């Protein structure tokens, strides 16, 4: 704790002071790493909240890499596609799409990616047979 009562995190490195082959003492380098620890904790909490949000979203969500392979898929989209997340992970989403009119979307995405260099967000709506 510091003088204000706030918690501080430090990293201490010790270097021995060797004189004529004998350790006469040591040097200590103390670094305040409070900002890094707090940033890491905030990032971890943010990631956890994002994962909870995606997993519990009432609509399908998937995260794809630039080649269109599934990195993460939520339970709602698995239900729409009629598959388990383990079956889809690493596969191209176009290989598991349930309807014919969706087949051309992968080509459109690839063209958009080539033109812009990146796709930040995309949104698709699909209806199941149940409505």
Is 63 in the same domain as 106?
yes
Query: CA 29: distance to chain centroid?
Result: 34
Nearest to 127 by CA among 59, 57, 54, 53: 59
* 113 confidence band (pLDDT: 50, 70, 90): low
Is residue 130 assigned to a domain? Answer: no
**Exposed e or buried b for every residue in 57-84, given b needs 16+ CB within 10 A?**
eeebebebeeebebeebbebbbebbeee
Mean pLDDT over all residues of the chain? 79
Same domain, 49 and 96: no
Pair (67, 90) in one structural domain: yes
Owning domain of residue 91 = 58-116
Which pLDDT does position 89 carry in this prediction? 79
- What average pLDDT does range 119-128 have in this prediction? 55
For residues 63 and 39, membership in a common domain is answered with no
């Amino acid at each position: 704790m510091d003088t204000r009562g706030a918690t501080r995190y430090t990293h201490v490195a010790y270097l021995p002071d060797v004189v004529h082959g004998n350790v006469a003492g040591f040097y200590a380098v103390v670094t305040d790493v409070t900002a890094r620890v707090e940033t890491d904790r905030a990032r971890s909490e943010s990631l956890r909240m994002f994962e909870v949000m995606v997993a519990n979203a009432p609509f399908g969500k998937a995260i794809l890499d630039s080649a269109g392979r599934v990195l993460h898929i939520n339970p709602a989209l698995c239900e729409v596609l009629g598959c388990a997340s383990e079956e889809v992970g690493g596969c191209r989403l176009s290989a598991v799409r349930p309807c014919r009119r969706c087949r051309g979307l992968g080509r459109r995405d690839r063209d958009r990616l080539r033109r812009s260099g990146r796709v930040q967000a995309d949104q698709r709506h699909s209806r199941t047979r149940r409505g």
